Structure 1
């Protein structure tokens, strides 16, 4: 009998978050699951890793299923490193991260702990997917995500991914009957117009709270933002080589020896 695929599951909302519990449920229908996830929320951590303090891992039992579970004091990227280097006895066939409570479309991918965990797995040569739902509610309904998650994960296991590429998958906040399908997209050109709300503490010291609004500058109908706004699951292949290859030729015309 062929061996089941080994699937590493992680997230950035913490090991008890409903999103990761849903993802574990789906992955248990596909393969052997090992969970290594933060012991507390780590949203917006990006690709941070722990280098100036100790890391802790604790084996835990949460909910139903046959999966092995470990909570970690580290960041999402730490969790993948610990899973691959310390906990697992063989390389996972797939790493999935999420389901994030909130959007990781467009520019959000840069700040996302969910996607950074997937990217860390990709750096290790492991096919990886980050899943997010555009609903920040802790008690969000993830039911309409399940069938699509299974389909996408099984396709990655079957076909693999190009070296240096991971998938960023976002779900609109919709009921199952309203979803129109999957769109393979590019990342929309958008940004946050940020404002710092200045306040006073009880002892008179200034402190700041980051606020702002998300502005989509991209009118293309081939973007993740368009897909989500129109009822589709967006799938964006993300590369972690940040080289702006198109600029190399121009930079080579500059005279860097000029004084």
Structure 2
């Protein structure tokens, strides 16, 4: 099978990455010591290639009402431009199609970021639902965009070093908020439990951005440390913690499901009719392992 590659594939190899098959993508698992990479992000700053994830723009009149019906979390919660919301997207039986982030930009434009392995399925589902419930909306896969996550206590300062033109628009962003800075869409989000930015930018500019970050001291981090960082932070992984057979209420995502409002959403009836018989919990290790 021929693996898919991101625009940073050559850069990974030049930096000595160990490459692996990650859901059909040729991706770096580490650049040396996975443990060192983990601590690099916790203590300083690191950067991740997340170009395999998909950016989707939903545009048109009624886009908020459509997302209110499409998602388990309530799009009405985000009213400040740039504010983001984490949610599951469900089948009618309550199974999880994907977990995703939506950004409210205007009443005619929400941006959505979905997982790589489910992107085609996600977009097909969105378009199918839009055709029935909001036929005037456009659902556009932004295949022209790439994405890099810069994470760690020094992440934001490093991004401003490389992209000083974005500082004014991004220095006052709260957690889970983004700013559209022309060619650069900068979000104060991440998947590590640390502060930082996820930057969306034109594909043709991402390699230069990657190397510029490296020049100011941002080290590349592989998928191995990305997984231990998100696990340590108690963040779910689609396909492992939840999928189309495991719903949000049993997989630790009840906090992302809005059952209090009167609105209907896909999967709501199934969730109400079938309370979970088991729940995923996290364990905190207090002492060193033997």
Structure 1 length-normalised TM: 0.24
Instruction: With the length of structure 2 as denominator, give the TM-score of the two structures.
Output: 0.23
